[in-house]
Amino acid sequence: MYRLFRPLLFSLDPELSHDLTLGLLRCAYRVPGLGALNHSLHTHRTPSLPVEVMGLQLRNPVGLAAGLDKNAGCVAPLADLGFGFLELGTVTPRAQSGNPKKRMYRIETDEALINRMGFNNVGLESFLVNLSRAPRVCPLGINIGKNRDTPAERALDDYLLGLRSVYPVADYIAVNVSSPNTPGLRALQEQETLAALLATLKSEQDVLARTHGRYVPIALKIAPDLADADIGAIARLLLAHRIDAVIATNTTIARPGLENDVTARQSGGLSGKPLRALATHVIRQLYRELAGRIPIIGVGGIGSAEDAWEKILAGADLLQIYTALIYRGPAAVREIVAGVASAMRSLGATSFAEARTIHAESTRKRVT
């Protein structure tokens, strides 16, 4: 069905077609029966592949990556596409309009997007109102960030406010220090700054867990544009500060394989196919250091079950997609879950950790 709509959507400006699609989905859910139809078209047809990560029970390991529903305005329609979980946001303390338009570009030949949205969002207060109106259909991560005009030395205050505000309603909280479109944000990944940020968030999480009688995991979302030594250092900080998960990766400022593409000269973060190998490399480096002690949420260029399997073998325990949803439509979710389930069956594995062990063992045997 998406194949019919795609030419129309792709004839429009990317951001307009994004807004239009979410708007139409929201309207459709006001018509009795259409939500149930969407649910039965997608969720019902997505195989069950239950996993438990960060203490959360998920019906399958494929989630929606942050940035598509920044305002928690389309929760039920998106969950009904068959996702195992959704990550909403990035939400900042105060509403902000983001960078000037035009700020999103398609590179169709490579199934890629470049965006420099700049955290356009309605702010925490309206986000929470929207979320309070949404039915809880699957686990929800909430991705928090800082406002553009908050000076670097006050960044921590924005994250603390975000953490405290979303804690009661989130199933996990993603701390975004990796968007390339907010000046200075990615400097928060530097060792000393990151150590201070993680220590503060962790101790606040302890306080909040006691206050609310409920432990909500924290995941750190990192960039793909890090040197191996920095990835190792971040992994060690995550362990030292007992952070619950890491999301790898955000969009890249590099342009791998797109050196001759005119659109690729646009500034912003690149997502989709060209990001795939870079993101997988970061996951592999993280896994080397973490060795399963902290789960990895793998994201970046996943468009097929093979791409998903590559991320799982590299060390991912959960997966997220964004750009593939734009290029391939909701069927991508079902196809990825079905393909991963079938790869698990043919390996005789009951968990991703076991799949990695069996795969490593068979690779070792082939080599010796």
Ligand X SMILES: Cc1cc2nc3c(=O)[nH]c(=O)nc-3n(C[C@H](O)[C@H](O)[C@H](O)COP(=O)(O)O)c2cc1C
Q: Which residues bind ligand X (CB under 6 A)?
A: 65-67, 70, 90, 104, 113, 115, 117, 119, 143, 176, 179, 221, 250-251, 271-272, 275, 299-302, 321-324
Nearer to ligand X, 211 or 267 (CB): 267
* Closer by beta carbon to ligand X, 67 or else 73: 67
CB of 87 to ligand X, least distance (A): 7
- In angstroms, give the least distance from the CB of 221 to ligand X: 5
Q: Which is nearer to ligand X, 35 or 67 (CB)?
A: 67
Cβ atoms 268, 116 nearer than 8 A: yes
Q: Which is nearer to ligand X, 126 or 357 (CB)?
A: 126
User: Where does residue 49 fall: left (phi above 0), alpha (psi -120 to 50 degrees), or beta otherwise?
Assistant: beta
CB-CB contact of 195 with 241 (8 Å)? yes
Residue 211 CA from chain centroid, whole number: 28
Which residue's structure tokens are 């979303």? 166
Q: Which two tokens stand for residue 313?
A: 């073998």
Q: Answer for the pair 339, 312: CB distance below 8 angstroms, yes or no.
A: no
Residues 6+ apart with CB under 8 A from 317: 51, 53, 61, 245, 295, 296, 297, 298, 352, 353
Residue 167, SS3?
Answer: helix
Residues 6+ apart with CB under 8 A from 17: 9, 10
Angle (nearest 5°) at CA 325 between 319 and 331: 90
Which among 247, 203, 258 has a CA at the least distance from the CA of 223?
247
Please provide the distance, in angstroms rounded to a whole number, between the alpha carbons at the two ends of the chain. Answer: 48
> Is 179 annotated in the active site?
yes
Residue nearest to ligand X (CB): 67
Q: How far is the CB of 223 from ligand X (least distance, A)?
A: 9
What is the smallest separation between the CB atom of 98 and ligand X, expressed in angstroms?
9
Closer of 150 and 250 to ligand X (Cβ): 250
Catalytic residue among 17, 165, 178, 179: 179
- Is residue 98 classed as helix, strand or coil in its secondary structure? coil
269-272 β-sheet, strand order: 104-107, 112-115, 269-272
Q: CB of 164: closest distance to ligand X in angstroms?
A: 19
Considering the complex, what minimum distance in angstroms separates the CB of residue 50 from ligand X?
22
Q: Which residues are catalytic?
A: 179
